[in-house]
Amino acid sequence: SQTIHQWPATLVQPVGSPLSLECTVEGTSNPNLYWYRQAAGRGLQLLFYSVGIGQISSEVPQNLSASRPQDRQFILSSKKLLLSDSGFYLCAWSRSGLRGTSTGNTIYFGEGSWLTVV
Protein backbone atom coordinates (compact mmCIF):
# COMPACT_ATOMS: atom_id res chain seq x y z
CA SER A 1 0.00 0.00 0.00
CA GLN A 2 1.01 3.59 -0.51
CA THR A 3 1.98 5.89 2.31
CA ILE A 4 2.95 9.52 2.52
CA HIS A 5 5.13 11.06 5.18
CA GLN A 6 5.92 14.68 5.84
CA TRP A 7 8.02 16.34 8.52
CA PRO A 8 8.45 18.09 10.76
CA ALA A 9 4.93 18.00 12.17
CA THR A 10 5.31 21.36 13.88
CA LEU A 11 7.89 24.10 13.87
CA VAL A 12 8.25 27.64 15.09
CA GLN A 13 10.59 29.81 13.08
CA PRO A 14 11.61 33.47 13.40
CA VAL A 15 10.94 35.92 10.61
CA GLY A 16 13.75 35.91 8.09
CA SER A 17 14.88 32.36 8.83
CA PRO A 18 14.94 29.60 6.20
CA LEU A 19 12.40 26.81 5.88
CA SER A 20 12.54 23.24 4.70
CA LEU A 21 9.58 20.88 4.82
CA GLU A 22 10.07 17.40 3.43
CA CYS A 23 7.66 14.88 2.04
CA THR A 24 8.16 11.36 0.78
CA VAL A 25 5.80 8.86 -0.77
CA GLU A 26 6.23 5.11 -0.58
CA GLY A 27 4.63 2.26 -2.46
CA THR A 28 4.21 3.95 -5.82
CA SER A 29 6.36 5.33 -8.59
CA ASN A 30 6.24 8.54 -10.58
CA PRO A 31 3.45 10.10 -8.53
CA ASN A 32 2.12 13.60 -8.99
CA LEU A 33 3.12 15.55 -5.88
CA TYR A 34 1.56 18.63 -4.35
CA TRP A 35 2.05 21.20 -1.63
CA TYR A 36 -1.06 22.85 -0.21
CA ARG A 37 -1.42 25.50 2.45
CA GLN A 38 -4.36 25.86 4.79
CA ALA A 39 -4.64 29.15 6.62
CA ALA A 40 -6.81 29.74 9.68
CA GLY A 41 -8.63 26.38 9.42
CA ARG A 42 -10.16 27.22 6.04
CA GLY A 43 -10.00 25.65 2.62
CA LEU A 44 -6.79 24.58 1.02
CA GLN A 45 -4.77 26.55 -1.48
CA LEU A 46 -2.56 24.72 -3.96
CA LEU A 47 0.97 26.11 -3.85
CA PHE A 48 3.00 23.78 -6.08
CA TYR A 49 2.57 20.60 -8.03
CA SER A 50 5.04 18.32 -9.76
CA VAL A 51 4.53 15.67 -12.41
CA GLY A 52 8.13 14.46 -12.39
CA ILE A 53 11.66 14.93 -11.10
CA GLY A 54 12.74 18.52 -11.47
CA GLN A 55 9.35 19.59 -12.85
CA ILE A 56 7.66 22.12 -10.61
CA SER A 57 4.65 24.28 -11.32
CA SER A 58 3.84 27.20 -9.09
CA GLU A 59 0.25 28.23 -8.60
CA VAL A 60 0.65 31.49 -6.73
CA PRO A 61 3.44 34.03 -6.44
CA GLN A 62 4.90 33.82 -3.00
CA ASN A 63 7.90 33.61 -0.77
CA LEU A 64 8.17 29.85 -1.12
CA SER A 65 9.75 27.42 -3.56
CA ALA A 66 9.55 23.69 -4.14
CA SER A 67 11.93 21.07 -5.42
CA ARG A 68 11.72 17.44 -6.38
CA PRO A 69 15.20 15.96 -6.23
CA GLN A 70 13.98 12.37 -6.36
CA ASP A 71 10.93 10.64 -7.78
CA ARG A 72 9.12 10.35 -4.48
CA GLN A 73 10.55 13.28 -2.58
CA PHE A 74 9.07 16.76 -2.52
CA ILE A 75 10.55 19.66 -0.58
CA LEU A 76 9.03 23.00 0.30
CA SER A 77 11.52 25.76 1.05
CA SER A 78 11.95 29.39 1.80
CA LYS A 79 15.11 31.45 2.10
CA LYS A 80 13.52 34.05 4.38
CA LEU A 81 10.22 33.42 6.11
CA LEU A 82 7.53 36.08 6.46
CA LEU A 83 4.86 36.28 9.13
CA SER A 84 2.27 35.60 6.44
CA ASP A 85 3.87 32.21 5.73
CA SER A 86 2.39 30.83 8.93
CA GLY A 87 -0.14 28.08 8.35
CA PHE A 88 -0.78 24.39 7.98
CA TYR A 89 1.12 22.85 5.06
CA LEU A 90 0.00 19.63 3.49
CA CYS A 91 1.88 17.43 1.10
CA ALA A 92 -0.20 15.22 -1.16
CA TRP A 93 0.16 12.75 -4.00
CA SER A 94 -1.89 11.21 -6.78
CA ARG A 95 -1.28 8.61 -9.45
CA SER A 96 0.07 9.96 -12.69
CA GLY A 97 0.44 8.76 -16.25
CA LEU A 98 -3.27 8.98 -16.93
CA ARG A 99 -3.33 11.77 -19.46
CA GLY A 100 -6.07 11.19 -21.95
CA THR A 101 -8.04 8.96 -19.64
CA SER A 102 -10.59 9.69 -16.97
CA THR A 103 -10.05 12.63 -14.71
CA GLY A 104 -10.88 13.02 -11.06
CA ASN A 105 -7.75 11.29 -9.90
CA THR A 106 -7.86 10.95 -6.13
CA ILE A 107 -5.39 12.97 -4.10
CA TYR A 108 -4.06 11.57 -0.84
CA PHE A 109 -2.80 13.88 1.86
CA GLY A 110 -0.08 13.66 4.45
CA GLU A 111 -0.60 14.53 8.08
CA GLY A 112 0.46 18.13 7.65
CA SER A 113 3.04 20.46 9.15
CA TRP A 114 2.15 23.39 11.37
CA LEU A 115 4.40 26.36 10.72
CA THR A 116 4.34 29.36 13.02
CA VAL A 117 6.50 32.30 12.04
CA VAL A 118 7.22 34.63 14.94
Of 19-27, 65-73, 79-87, 104-112, which segment contacts another protein by CB under 8 A? 104-112
Binding test (CB under 8 A) with another protein, winner from 11, 17, 58, 114:
114
Annotate 6-70 with DSSP letters as a single string: EE-SEEEE-TT--EEEEEEEES-SS-EEEEEEE-TT--EEEEEEEEETTEEEESS--S-EEEEEE
State the Rg of the chain over Cα: 14
112 binds another protein (CB under 8 A): yes
Residues 12-71 binding another protein (CB under 8 A) are 32, 34, 41-44, 46, 49, 51, 57, 59
- Name the residues that contact another protein, by CB under 8 A: 32, 34, 41-44, 46, 49, 51, 57, 59, 90, 92, 94, 96, 98-100, 102-112, 114
